[in-house]
Amino acid sequence: MLGMGVQFFRLDRLGERHFTPPPAVAVNRAEAAELVALPGIGPVMAERILQDRKMHGRFLTLSDLKRVKGVTPKVLEKVKGLVRFD
């Protein structure tokens, strides 16, 4: 799970580890469990995101998440690069 201390890495031919970024979460398709795995997103925030998506439609950009109560610039900075909007 993202944000839970799991490190993503790959081994090269010599057995050396290289950091690999985790797969991005598709905000417009994600369930609560996937959203909670993001840093700065707890169960309440995840439910707010789902409810907002249901009421107002898709999020098109990272900035669109600001319409969800509690999503601050600090939260946006934490999830930047870990979410996608397709």
CA R_g for the chain: 14
Q: Any idea what DSSP says for residue 82?
A: T
Enumerate domains of the chain plus CATH numbers. 24-84 (1.10.150.320)
17-63: pLDDT as tens digits: 766 666 899 999 999 999 999 999 999 999 999 999 999 999 999 99
Give the predicted TM-score (pTM) of the model. 0.76
Asked if residue 70 has pLDDT above 50, the reply is yes
Of 8, 9, 27, the C-alpha closest to 18 is 9
Contact between 9 and 18 under an 8 Å Cβ cutoff? The reply is yes
Torsion angle of alpha carbons 15, 12, 8, 50, nearest 10°? -150
Tokens of 62: 């990272």
